[in-house]
């Protein structure tokens, strides 16, 4: 594969930049005394399909993730801040598209995590995975780093090249470019 033009690249946030699933596990342990689940047990993006937890509890934990009340404990994935800082210095604004319903909490977290002004970080919250492709097409982005395998198929159908960020929940067969770290992603970018 040829190198990726940084100006045509965009990113998902949860599971790509933010280590959201580790925070999910922290909340489960601290608020619900759930200690029998490990990161590698999250083998499907739809948590009800892989975790032995009541759907109501999963929903409550996700609500706590989305409302930003625990963002002081949310950490970036290793290498994300370094690579995004390098990208942002030459190719701002950085483009992020998330399926979260609102951008507020995650935008505040991103502004604390990255060394940029708000005009240098563009976050669009679509409220659905299906809406990501339209946003990316509208912004002229041709490559998108995503951790949800099902979304990668939608992006490909819309003419956007997905780059799957390897996680335990996307270990099915697929035809996409895959990276297992931010360092591996950095090696594919034409700086």
- Report the alpha-carbon distance of residue 65 to residue 92 in Å, rounded: 27
Which domain, by its residues, includes 145?
A: 6-19+75-187
- Report the alpha-carbon distance of residue 30 to residue 79 in Å, rounded: 27
- Report the alpha-carbon distance of residue 44 to residue 161 in Å, rounded: 22
When divided into structural domains, the chain yields a total of 2
pLDDT above 70 for 162: yes
pLDDT grade for 54, boundaries at 50, 70 and 90? very high
**Co-location of 171 and 126 in the same domain:** yes
pTM for this entry: 0.96
Give the tens place of pLDDT for each residue, 19-29. Answer: 999 999 999 99
What would the mean pLDDT of 87-101 be, rounded to a whole number? Answer: 96
**Co-location of 81 and 163 in the same domain:** yes
pLDDT above 70 for 92: yes
**Co-location of 151 and 120 in the same domain:** yes
Domain finish residue from 73, 95, 110: 73
The backbone region for 151, taken as left when phi is positive above 0, alpha when psi lies in -120 to 50, beta otherwise, is alpha
- Report the alpha-carbon distance of residue 24 to residue 63 in Å, rounded: 10
What would the mean pLDDT of 121-143 be, rounded to a whole number? Answer: 97
């Amino acid at each position: 594969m040829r190198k990726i033009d940084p100006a045509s690249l965009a990113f998902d946030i949860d599971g790509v930049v933010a280590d959201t699933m580790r925070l999910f596990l922290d909340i489960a342990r601290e608020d619900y005394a759930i200690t029998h689940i490990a990161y590698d047990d999250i083998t499907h993006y739809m948590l009800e399909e892989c975790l032995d937890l009541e759907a109501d509890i999963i929903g409550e934990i996700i609500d706590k993730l989305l409302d930003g009340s625990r963002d002081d404990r949310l950490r970036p994935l290793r290498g994300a801040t370094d690579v995004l800082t390098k990208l942002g210095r030459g190719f701002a604004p950085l483009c992020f598209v998330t399926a979260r319903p609102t951008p507020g909490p995650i935008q505040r977290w991103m502004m604390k995590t990255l060394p940029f002004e708000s005009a240098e970080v563009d976050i669009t919250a679509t409220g659905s995975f299906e809406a990501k492709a339209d946003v990316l097409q509208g912004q002229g982005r041709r490559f998108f780093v995503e951790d949800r395998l099902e979304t990668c198929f939608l992006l490909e159908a819309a003419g956007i090249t997905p780059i799957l960020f390897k996680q335990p929940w996307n270990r099915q067969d697929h035809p996409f470019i895959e990276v297992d770290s931010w360092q591996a992603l950095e090696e594919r970018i034409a700086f």
